[in-house]
Structure 1
């Protein structure tokens, strides 16, 4: 089986953690016997803002490279900010079609595996129709909860879901949301993420804290610094957890506002802004943490929840998306309302009565990259077989 993986959510040297889970999933699929994969990871750039600091670093990303054993093409395509966002799938498909025709001549792929619903999904449906191959689209959370509700974009998301040969959702609740939006239930399968249980494992917490120059309780939060991730709530909760240090791993437009919030709350000396952290360096942070905190407004199923549990670190997060599929026992953590007081109370309870780390880690055992790859291969082969049966 030859697979074309299409994903605008994919890491590069300028954004090493951007879509790392898509890269890892694709590596697992490519390692399966009898499966060959090529990756197209388009980069959207507004034509008039290409020199803006947000996009300038992307100019150095090669348009073709081998990374992590994967052959990757990174074509640029134009995006229009604001109301023009609805044009993204059409612009992406127009940019990719000539390239994919050339690629198909040497690598006649059997299926397009779109790894994000916007703009990848609607673009993939256009491309699949033009090239005569079936399309799978995976939903991850914000692509349904944000783009799937935005004016001009929502109808395209639903239409793509109805046109695709098969669909995947990272959690059961996200699948339910897709069905409620009008997508066909019989074509949507739940496809959980994986975790590297060897890299993300229990380590010496005291030594990890010492390596970072820390002592006392350590709280960790990982994510893009944007309002949806809720780092401001974590900072607010910190004021009610005396002696604790909060590590914020990630970068984003909210950083300055979060720094001001820490100062205004009187906890600036107990908040460390770590910036972007390479995925390979995350286990050292989890090793030092007593509690992982993510006051998110929406998720499909956050990889960081599973990675935290694999390291024996309980999670405090909100009851959104697939949280109940991960935080499914007291040793895994707490699901609370999205406000500082509720987070502070849950953190204090876990610090006072810390669960056994092996019991916490047990909650992550069902999540593995081997299982993830096996399920993805089975899903895609089913679409290929069905398509071939319909064309013979």
Structure 2
């Protein structure tokens, strides 16, 4: 899901169409020099991988008050043969590239299938440490490490900070707080990352509560929600044309977007279709559950009403959002689901599961509604209720306009400067 447009020049940088306000206090300061560290970052072979990390960083850099080099290690794999599936894509990732004006490095680390939770931190650290040592020897100067996802990335970012004497700010994203702590070794490492980081960012208030439950002092956690690019995500000029481009007719169209895995809940939406006669479901995404989801639709007799669109470039998502009557998010766990804001920015209301962040993103009737549970029956009832009296699409768009990236960018700048000052 790669964005196609380069970031605007710093003097006119915009977040969601709103010019970033210059920081008078920071105007005389040089830009913050960051090392952004994450295995969740888009690349030439995986343009949809971790686009939420890239999007936030692009808006931060566009402010003109920060710059960053991205260190995004990639698992080593010896072959690009298609028969190896996603592992072959790792082999196709370039060692270095530029995306939207940012320099990206992809050092390789050893990731053993089935043993990643155990071996990931050590092998990831060795690869990242060697790459960063080389960069520093070449003259790279950094003020802080901007790490994303608590395990294994977060604990490795903390180790790098200790090794090279740099403050570390970690961003928790969702399953690193809700799922991985259920495993003994990751839980222990995540708690160490929480202690070792200079500051923590949570993308929703619910996620902050999860961090506090894991032992984070409340004052150490800053809530900085994700925003939406209001220039890229906007209502189509003609919905009829958008629907025709996707081969859709006049029937109500539900849209589900996300990786085809169990926790994204696509199976619940498919299972709701028998109770929603005449409704069509369009699923955008790819993943290991594709065959199982197709089989489920067949067994329920709704296969002719389920369309699998596969993974789509991020630039094409507005077409799908704008054509749909409602986005349905059935995830069991989410820190902050970007698709909710992206759909609303295109004028499409949402039916969302009660995952972390949903009630913060869907807080008015114009946005849609949040379910009490993510079950087929609840989804069917929620869809009927929403579409029986849908909000005006212009009102839905207007609601989304309150979620530009500006506040998030300003919050990051203030936080980085605070931890840098504390270190000094």
Give the CA deviation at 1:386. Answer: 1.1
CA drift of 1:372 comes to: 2.2
Counterparts of 1:91-106 in structure 2, within 5 Å, are 91-105=123-137, 106=139
| Deviation (angstroms), 1:125 | 0.6
More displaced stretch, 253-262 vs 324-333 = 324-333
Give the Cα–Cα distance (whole angstroms) in 2 for the partners of residues 369 and 54 of structure 1. Answer: 32
Cα root mean square deviation, aligned: 1.7
Alpha-carbon contact 1:161-1:184 (below 8 Å) kept: no
Question: Taking structure 2 as the reference length, what is the TM-score of the superposition?
Answer: 0.88
Question: TM-score, length-normalised on structure 1?
Answer: 0.95
CA contact (8 A) 2:151 2:189 kept: no
User: What secondary structure does 2:400 align onto?
Assistant: coil
Native 8 Å contact 1:46 1:80 kept in 2: no
Note if 1:307 corresponds to 2:311. no
User: CA offset at residue 314 of structure 1?
Assistant: 1.1
Which residue, out of 376, 397, 415, partners 1:379?
A: 415
> Can you give the 5+ residue segments of structure 1 that lack an aligned partner in the other structure?
none
Post-superposition shift, 1:221?
0.5
Aligned to 2:393: 357
Structure 2: distance between partners of 1:12 and 1:276: 15
Alignment-derived partner of residue 340 in structure 1: 376
Q: Deviations over 1:227-278 (max 9, x none)?
A: 0001011111122212221110000000000000111111111111111111
How many pairs were matched up?
388
User: What corresponds to 1:36 in structure 2?
Assistant: 67
CA 63–49 in structure 1, closer or farther in 2 if over 3 Å, else same = closer
Q: Which moved more, 1:370-379 or 1:56-65?
A: 370-379
1:121 aligns with 2:154: yes
Counterpart of 2:241 (choices 202, 207, 213) is 207
- Structure-2 residue corresponding to 1:7: 38
Alignment of 1:215-230 (within 5 A): 215=249, 216-230=251-265
1:20 aligns with 2:54: no
**SS in structure 1 of the partner of residue 185 of structure 2:** coil
Contact 2:74 2:107 in 1 (8 A): yes
CA contact (8 A) 2:76 2:91 kept: no
Q: Which runs of no fewer than 5 residues in structure 2 stay unpaired?
A: 1-31
Cα shift at 1:48: 11
The answer on whether the counterparts of 2:158 and 2:197 sit within 8 Å (CA) in structure 1 is: yes
